[in-house]
Structure 1
Amino acid sequence: MAVTAERGVGGGVRAHVTRTAELWKLFRNERSDPGAFYRRLAADAVAGFERRYGSLAGKRMADVGCGPGYYTEAFRAAGAVVLPLEYDPAELRLAGEPPADAVVGDAERLPIATGALDAVFCSNMLEHTPRPATVVDEMARVLRPGGWGYLSFTNWYSPWGGHEMSPYHLLGPERGVRLYEKRHGTDHKHRVGENLYVTHIGDALRMFEAHPDLVVRRTEPRYYPWAAPIMKVPGAREVLAWNCVVRFERV
C-alpha cells in the first residue's frame, strides 16, 4: 500500500541534535555497556509512542526479536501487556535472567493469534532473517485493524551494516568478510548468509508498499530522525541513514 507522509512529532531541531550526540556517546561504549545504550533507546521509544498513540497502558504488544528484553522492560513499565519473542535462547540471557514470559519462537511464524495485538515492535532484527517479507506479513497478520507497528533495521551500506565486521562490509559481503577474517580471524558472531543478511532500505520499503494491509506513516534514520528527508533519496539513504525506522499501521 502507498506510503503516506507523517510529520515528525515532538521536540525542535536542537533537541533532536542533542539526542543524537548523546546516543553517539552511548553507542561508542555499546559493546562494553550495552544496557546504557539500549535502555536509552527504549525510553525514547516509549516517549515517542505515547506522543503518537497515547498511553501504552493496557496495550497488547509483541517485542519481536526482544533479545535480553530492554524494550520489553520499558514497555511493561509504561503499562503495556508485552509478549517478548526471541529466536535465539542465548540472546535472552545476555543481560542476566531473560524477561518474564519470554517465548522462544520464529518471527516468520509468530505464535500469536490473528488480529490479537494493538502494536508490534521489532528493533534491529530484520537484517538477521533470510525472509524479511515473511516477517512483515506476520506482523501485519497479528495486528488488529488500526494497530500500529515499528520496525528498525541496520541497512547494509550504513557505517555499521556489517556489525562487528564494519567497515569491511563496504567491500561486499564476500570480499569484505574475507578481508575481515584475514585480519581479525574467523571467530565472530555474525556470519553473512547465516545470521546476517544484506538488507537495503529500498527493498524494505517496496515490501511495505506491496502489502495490501499496511500503510507506512513515516520513515526516518533512527538516531537522527530530524534528517528524515534523506529517506526520500534512493541511494543516498542507503549510506546516510545508518539505521532505518519504518512506522506503519494496519488498515
Structure 2
Amino acid sequence: MPVTDRFAERATLSRSLRLLAQFRFEQSDPARFYGALGEDTAEMVADLCLATDGSTPAGRTVLDVGGGPGYFAEAFADKGFQYIGVEPNPAEMHAAPGTVTASTYVRASGTALPIADDSVDICLSSNVAEHVRRPWRMGAEMLRVTRPGGLVVLSYTVWLGPFGGHETGLWHYLGGARAARRYTRRHGHAPKNNYGSSLFAVSAADGLQWAASTGALVAAFPRYHPRWAWSLTKVPVVREFLVSNLVLVLRAS
C-alpha cells in the first residue's frame, strides 16, 4: 500500500484549520504552538512507518535534525519512539527550560551529523531546510544515518508560499532582504529568521529534484493541506505558491 495511505485519512480540512489556528501562537506562546505541531508530526511519522512495513513505533529510534528546544520530544515519546534531537545552537536548545536532557540531545550541525551510518530507524527534519545554506547536504546526511528500509522525512517551508518569509509576513514577495529591513525598522530589531543568514529561498522544485536524484523518494505531499489538495505538488509553478510546506518521504537503502 502507498506509504501515505494511513496519514491521508488523517489529512482532513478540520485538521488543516486546527493547525492553521495554532500558527498565531508561534512567537507569543511557542510551547502551545510547537506542542500541537509536535503531536501532529509524531502522528504523521507513526502513520508513515506503519504504512511502510506494518510495524508500530514502539522502540523505533527517531533522529530529529534541528529539533530546537525539544518540544517534539514528549510527543514522540508518547507514541513509543526513542527520540534523539540534534541542534547546533545552544541558545535554541535551552530556549524551553526542562525539555532537553543530555541523554536525548546532541549539539551538532545537520550537515555533518556525528551519527554512525545506518544507525537510526527514522530521520526527521521539520522546518529546517529553509534555514540551512546547503539543505540537500543535510538531506544526504539524513539518508546516510538511516538504516536500510528506514524512513527519512524532510519537511520544509517553501519560499514562495505564504509563510516563506516567516515573521516578516508576506513582504518577502518584494524580496527577502527588503522584508528583513522593513521588519527591523518596524520592530527595532532584526527578525530571528534573517534572510541570507538564517533564512534562505528554497523552492518545491529544488526539493523534488534533489529527492528524485537520490532514487529513494517514495512520497511528496503538502504537510498541512487536506488530502484532496495534495495534487498541487505535481503542478509546476502553482506548487511554489500553494503547497506552503512540502514533505519529502524517502526510504533509505
User: Does the TM-score normalized on the shorter chain lie above 0.5?
Assistant: yes
Query: How many residues matched?
Result: 244
Q: Which of 30, 36, 45 is the equivalent residue of 1:40?
A: 36
* Deviation (angstroms), 1:177: 3.1
Pair 1:92-2:93 in alignment = yes
Secondary structure of the 1:197 match is coil
Paired with 1:86 and 1:10, the residues of 2 have a C-alpha distance of 27
Whether 1:110 aligns to 2:113 is: yes
Q: Which residue of 2 aligns with 1:175?
A: 178
8 Å CA contact 1:56, 1:75 repeated in 2 = no
Trace 1:171-210 onto structure 2 (pairs within 5 A): 171-210=174-213
Distance across 2 between alignment mates of 1:185 and 1:157: 26
Q: Which has the higher contact order (CA 8 A, sep 6+)?
A: 1
Name 2:78's counterpart in structure 1: 77
Aligned to 1:224: 225
* Alpha-carbon distance between aligned partners in 2 of 1:19 and 1:172, rounded to the nearest angstrom: 31
| 3-state secondary structure, aligned to 2:42 | helix
1:61 aligned onto 2:62: yes
Residue 167 of structure 2: aligned partner: 164
SS in 1 for 2:148: strand
1:197-245 per-residue CA deviation (whole Å, 9 max, x = no partner) reads: 1111101111111125xx2222121111421100001111111112111
1:168 and 1:180 in contact (8 A); partners too: no
Aligned-residue CA RMSD (Å): 2.0
Offset of residue 7 of structure 1: 4.8
- State the Cα distance separating 1:46 from its structure 2 match: 2.4
Residue 53 of structure 2 is matched in structure 1 by: none
- 1:112-135 Cα deviation digits (max 9, x unpaired): 000101110110111111111210
Q: Runs of 5+ in structure 2 lacking a partner?
A: 51-55
Distance verdict in 2 for CA 1:8–1:37, change over 3 Å? farther
Distance 1:92 1:230, change over 3 A: same
Identity %: 36
Provide TM-score, normalisation by structure 1: 0.89
Q: Residue 51 of structure 1 is aligned with which of 28, 47, 50? A: 47
- TM-score w.r.t. length of structure 2: 0.89
Range that drifts further, 196-205 or 165-174: 165-174
Greater Cα offset, 155-164 or 215-224: 215-224
